[in-house]
A = this chain, B = another copy of it.
């Protein structure tokens, strides 16, 4: 990784055009050729950048970075304050323990937490446009498709509608209903869901996890 602190101006042209007036900034070049121009503020996002794959051309007082998509980044270096290089090797990488998959898991373990008499048929039930998170049946035996989201937004309703449309064609699933389950459901998603006959449920992740813990403890 090369780190250069320099007074510079930058122009990007590609998906849009952007210009940075002269100022002191950090220019970071990673081993894979990625370039990022950072100011001393503004979260982790750089002011300008160019991701791999790209071509970095270094000239006197000027760097030109281009990529195969026709984007370009032109960095004019007016004064170099520091220029260092570091060997870091391949990073062992990040271990994540996510929430979404866990939510689906918890609801699969006990669909009745959605407030209805539901029994699980299967998780990730396949349709020809992708798997629906949970397929259940209610007390009447009616199929119920459940889309699980951390946050319930309009996209989630659209996604569920597409699944329902497909699943309705299956005689075994005829009359299928839909539920959007999320930790929070946005107002516009509520309006839209209701207008299409889809129910929505807000689920409390912490208490759900609490239930799981309580159930787990039975086996201790």
Q: Which residues of A are at the interface with B, using a C-beta cutoff of 8 A?
A: 1, 3, 5, 15-26, 28, 30-32, 34, 36, 38-49, 51-52, 81-82, 84, 86-99, 128-130, 150, 154, 158, 162, 188, 191-192
Residues of B within 8 A of A17 (CB): 96-98
Residues of B within 8 A of A48 (CB): 94
Residues of B within 8 A of A22 (CB): 92
The answer on a CB contact under 8 Å between B97 and A18 is yes
Residues of B within 8 A of A38 (CB): 1, 28, 30
Q: How far is the CB of A1 from chain B (nearest CB, A)?
A: 4
Provide 23 A-B residue pairs closer than 8 Å at the C-beta atoms, listed in order of the A residue.
Answer: A3-B3, A3-B26, A15-B98, A16-B96, A19-B97, A22-B92, A23-B88, A23-B89, A24-B88, A25-B88, A30-B42, A31-B41, A32-B41, A34-B41, A40-B87, A42-B91, A44-B44, A44-B45, A44-B46, A128-B188, A128-B191, A129-B188, A130-B188
The answer on a CB contact under 8 Å between A19 and B86 is no
Given contacts A32-B41, A44-B36, A129-B191, contact A24 B99 (CB under 8 A): no
- Copies in the assembly, this chain: 2
Q: How far is the CB of A110 from chain B (nearest CB, A)?
A: 21
Residue of B nearest to A26 (CB): B1
List 8 A-B pairs, minimum CB-CB distance, nearest first. Answer: A39-B91, A16-B98, A40-B88, A36-B44, A1-B40, A21-B92, A17-B97, A44-B49
Given contacts A81-B86, A89-B40, A188-B130, contact A99 B1 (CB under 8 A): no
Given contacts A1-B26, A129-B154, contact A18 B86 (CB under 8 A): no
The answer on a CB contact under 8 Å between B34 and A30 is no
